[in-house]
Chains A and B, each alone.
Chain A
């Protein structure tokens, strides 16, 4: 029979397959400003995995607004891992049963391999003399920050401002509420996302101060015309912890559990920590942090858990429909 040789070679190929190197594909669903970061991480991880296991790993990326990305995963985007801007968005995926609700305790440091913080970007020479949160509500100061209702980054901004007000002498929920209410009266444009707010401030020339993630501020300073800005570190601010997690159900379905786990653990390795620092995220590793000390000046920070408990509580208290932000919102 003529077919037999073909069939035989096919059978041989099938038998031989498991011992040959595999091609593995992972999908990492992330948020907008991590584009450059993961380009570097993915190359490094693929090389690392190939050296250890001989398989080639291709990591596909999807970037977008953090909340929108979480919704896409909930609605069926087959992400093996999610690397988002805030834990609340991964909680929402967990609520739909795609991963265990204990996801944040499975990896060190609240499952956030890198952090950032909230700082101010002001115009060159700091003409309005903005040095701390209190200066944002001075007469004639315009503040640019995105809308906490549509932007994860903006929620970190809001919580940083709230935490500052709480930490002032005599600070309590009422004084904090009064402070953020006044603060948002100084906001002329509420962009829907962090990158949009950076553009409004840097390109359109609106506002005296941009409240921004430190990594965005450093990126803006590196970009064209970056010498027109200065970074101001307030007296106290929040540690922004963008978390990562394996999407259990999808990884199980794709048979990628091991490599997905390894990929996230790799984010804590010295090599990855260095890439993160080069992309303006503060590394967790003390050694790498020491190396980049000039880029990341010491800041006086509090964590979300210190002041607000966890993201579910913060979301319910401040950003849910009819919650505090809606009550004090600009225009009200």
Chain B
């Protein structure tokens, strides 16, 4: 066996498993254990409540839309950052990480201040009939904000390594710009775009801090699923909160598995096309 720089397979695997177990699996097991007080029928009852359904729909639906927006906008922004040189490019590049670093509550309060009916943007939007703060649209804005850097940061290195020669070749062979984009660039980027999509989605689903301030928190309308968990905890209903947590966990897991299946499928397809 070849010698590796870091200690052997046994040690690193053991470390990886122990660490993952302690940080990820053990808390999830505790969640499942607390939820087991409610039982399967309890979880079903929870799911059948219109309020839970509305909240889950807003959390997951909002996250899906936000991830889609981020993929499209993120691609455009990354393209500009990688392919062009312009004054302020480095500043722009650094700004993208801001949603990573900012405490989510600060982000939420700032977004609300801007979009509230008396805020900088809100005062122009509300007369046009576009109410952002305290509506599902506001939830979407916050979700787009927190998910944005994930798309750019996953896409950036791949776009950097993409060789311009391939595009030039396509052009010299008579391809139009649209053809070059759709048949040369997009297939190579698609698996990465999906990774960015999955990360932005995952972040938006679980986001509490920034969303809670801009959501109106009105049941059935602008109430996110994590808020329902907080409400159960306020009633000292640990089991109910855990049960809702498990439901969110399963939904998220299913979504991420689905994305990774599509990702694998597109990668194979991209390799076959190349």
Q: Do A and B come from one complex?
A: yes
CB distance from B50 to the nearest CB of A (A): 9
Interface mask (B205-247 → A, CB under 8 Å = 1, otherwise 0): 0000000110011111101000100111111110010000000
Which chain B residues lie closer than 8 Å to A311 at the CB level?
none
Q: Is the CB of A92 within 8 A of B116?
A: no
CB distance from B85 to the nearest CB of A (A): 41
Which chain A residues lie closer than 8 Å to B51 at the CB level?
326, 329, 331
Q: Is the CB of A189 within 8 A of B217?
A: yes
Interface residues of B in 62-118 (CB under 8 A from A): 112-113, 116-118
Taking the complex as formed, is A304 at the interface, i.e. its CB lies under 8 A from any CB of chain B? no
Task: Please classify how large the interface on chain A is, using the bins under 10, 10 to 19, 20 to 34, 35 or more.
Answer: 20 to 34
A77 to B218, CA, bound (A): 32
Taking the complex as formed, is B198 at the interface, i.e. its CB lies under 8 A from any CB of chain A? no
A203 to B119, CA, bound (A): 10
A170 to B227, CA, bound (A): 37
Which chain A residues lie closer than 8 Å to B117 at the CB level?
204-206
Taking the complex as formed, is B148 at the interface, i.e. its CB lies under 8 A from any CB of chain A? no
Which chain B residues lie closer than 8 Å to A68 at the CB level?
233-234
Q: Is the CB of A150 within 8 A of B230?
A: yes
Q: Is the CB of B134 within 8 A of A189?
A: yes
A188 to B138, CA, bound (A): 14
Taking the complex as formed, is B133 at the interface, i.e. its CB lies under 8 A from any CB of chain A? yes
Q: Is the CB of B235 within 8 A of A321?
A: yes
A287 to B230, CA, bound (A): 42
Q: Is the CB of B218 within 8 A of A331?
A: yes
Which chain B residues lie closer than 8 Å to A117 at the CB level?
none
Residue of A nearest to B234 (CB): A67
Residue of A nearest to B119 (CB): A204
Instruction: Indicate which residue in A187, A191, A196, A206 contacts B116 across the interface (CB closer than 8 Å).
Output: A206
Q: Is the CB of A189 within 8 A of B216?
A: yes
Q: Is the CB of A147 within 8 A of B232?
A: no
Taking the complex as formed, is A319 at the interface, i.e. its CB lies under 8 A from any CB of chain B? yes
A65 to B117, CA, bound (A): 27
A150 to B213, CA, bound (A): 14
CB distance from B84 to the nearest CB of A (A): 39
Q: How many A-B residue pairs have CB under 8 A?
A: 73
A326 to B116, CA, bound (A): 27
Residue of A nearest to B217 (CB): A190
Residue of A nearest to B212 (CB): A192
Q: Is the CB of A190 within 8 A of B216?
A: yes
Q: Is the CB of A321 within 8 A of B134?
A: no
Residue of B nearest to A319 (CB): B235
CB distance from B15 to the nearest CB of A (A): 29
Residue of A nearest to B214 (CB): A189
Q: Is the CB of A149 within 8 A of B236?
A: no
CB distance from A118 to the nearest CB of B (A): 19
CB distance from A263 to the nearest CB of B (A): 26
Which chain A residues lie closer than 8 Å to B112 at the CB level?
204
Q: Is the CB of B234 within 8 A of A321?
A: no
Interface residues of B in 155-181 (CB under 8 A from A): none
Q: Is the CB of B218 within 8 A of A190?
A: yes
A70 to B233, CA, bound (A): 11
CB distance from B212 to the nearest CB of A (A): 6
A68 to B234, CA, bound (A): 7
A183 to B117, CA, bound (A): 22
Interface residues of B in 1-57 (CB under 8 A from A): 51, 54
Assuming A147-B217, A203-B113, A204-B117, what are 9 further A-B pairs, CB within 8 angstroms? A68-B233, A71-B233, A71-B236, A187-B218, A189-B217, A190-B216, A190-B218, A321-B235, A332-B220
**Listed A/B pairs (21) with beta-carbon separation below 8 Å:** A67-B234, A71-B233, A71-B236, A92-B236, A150-B234, A188-B218, A189-B218, A190-B217, A190-B218, A192-B230, A196-B213, A203-B113, A204-B117, A204-B118, A204-B119, A206-B134, A315-B235, A319-B235, A321-B235, A329-B51, A331-B219
